[in-house]
Amino acid sequence: VIPQVYTGRSHDLLNMLRSRALDVVVTVEPKNDDLYQSRVLFSDTLSFFVKNKRRTSDLNEKQIFELPWIIFKDAKIGENISLLEIIDSLNLKPARQIYVDSFETALDLTISGIGVSILPTRVVQNKRWLQHTALSQGSLINIQNRKIGEVSR
């Protein structure tokens, strides 16, 4: 047997598992299902991050909401609640939103100075991203440590 690795959206991979096309799946969203067992490998905290152009974390709330928010629209929190649902439930209303297809893309755009993103701490601390000049120089900051939720993977 030659092991093979497939990548894709969690939903698609879980369907492949159900149809027995795959034996093991690693996804970013925990689900309880009678057909398979799941184990949380780790959990993480989502926080607001922005490129620190002024070398200060003292952005006020008005400034945070005036910047575009870069959001991974398919991100799920906890028991399958979308990041967009969390933002709506907290009545957070940024002036503009930019939707992306991964946390890594959101991080790249944030490092480029495009706006504010809501990211898992591990994505920001991941070694391969530390090679970005902006992050290694400490110019990407966690805005006032405003945590909005946890994500399990």
pLDDT digits (tens, 9 = 90+) for 123-147: 777 645 555 545 555 566 666 545 4
SS3 state at 33: strand
DSSP E strand stretches across 7-109: 43-51, 69-72, 76-77, 81-82, 97-100
Q: What is the pLDDT of residue 68?
A: 92
pLDDT: is 100 or 56 the higher one? Answer: 100
Q: Is the pLDDT at 55 greater than 80, yes or no?
A: no
Span of 49-53, 67-71, 138-142 with lowest mean pLDDT: 138-142
Task: Give the neighbor-by-neighbor strand order of the sheet with 69-72.
Answer: 97-100, 69-72, 116-120, 43-51, 140-152
What average pLDDT does range 107-136 have in this prediction?
Answer: 73
pLDDT class of 153 with cuts at 50, 70, 90 = very low
What average pLDDT does range 23-31 have in this prediction?
Answer: 74
Which secondary structure element, helix H or strand E, spans residue 79, and what is its range? none
Residue-wise burial string across 65-76, b where 16 or more C-beta atoms lie within 10 A, e elsewhere: eebebbbbebbb
pTM of the model: 0.65
The radius of gyration computed from the CA coordinates of the chain, to the nearest angstrom, equals 17
